[in-house]
């Protein structure tokens, strides 16, 4: 997996959220296209946890942006592959 620096994902996430709120899985898909990830790279999982590496990378970038106050989470939706995942939006300074 070529991308491990979560900070590289932050700016593209902010740009993608300028058009409106997006669920985590849509953010993952959009960034995978931008960074030209292959299906094999997206399919990689951590051996011990089984968590997808790409999902984890994007989640860490989202967490960082939330901690910095740049984005917010408006709740959770059922993801296409199961479970509940966050829906994120760009903060404008009035939230």
Q: Which domains does the chain have, with CATH numbers?
A: 7-90 (1.10.10.10)
What pLDDT is stored for residue 93 in this prediction? 64
Measured in degrees and rounded to the nearest 5, phi and psi for residue 70 equal: -85, -30
- Please give the chain's pLDDT, 95 residues, in tens: 445 677 899 999 999 999 999 999 999 999 999 999 999 999 999 999 988 999 999 999 999 999 999 999 999 999 998 888 999 999 986 45
Model pLDDT, residue 7? 84
Cβ(88)–Cβ(17) below 8 Å: yes
Report d(CA 37, CA 32) in Å as an integer: 5
Are the C-beta atoms of residues 45 and 51 closer than 8 Å to each other? yes
Q: What confidence score (pLDDT) does residue 4 get?
A: 63
This model's pTM is above 0.85: yes
């Amino acid at each position: 997996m070529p991308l491990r620096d979560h900070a590289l994902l932050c700016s593209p996430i902010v740009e993608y959220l300028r058009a409106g709120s997006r669920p985590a899985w849509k953010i993952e898909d959009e960034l995978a296209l931008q960074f030209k990830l292959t299906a094999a790279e997206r399919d990689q999982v951590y051996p011990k946890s089984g968590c997808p590496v790409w999902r984890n990378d994007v989640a860490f970038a989202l967490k960082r942006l939330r901690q910095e106050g740049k984005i917010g989470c408006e709740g959770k939706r059922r993801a296409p592959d199961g479970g509940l995942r966050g829906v994120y939006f760009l903060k404008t300074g009035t939230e």
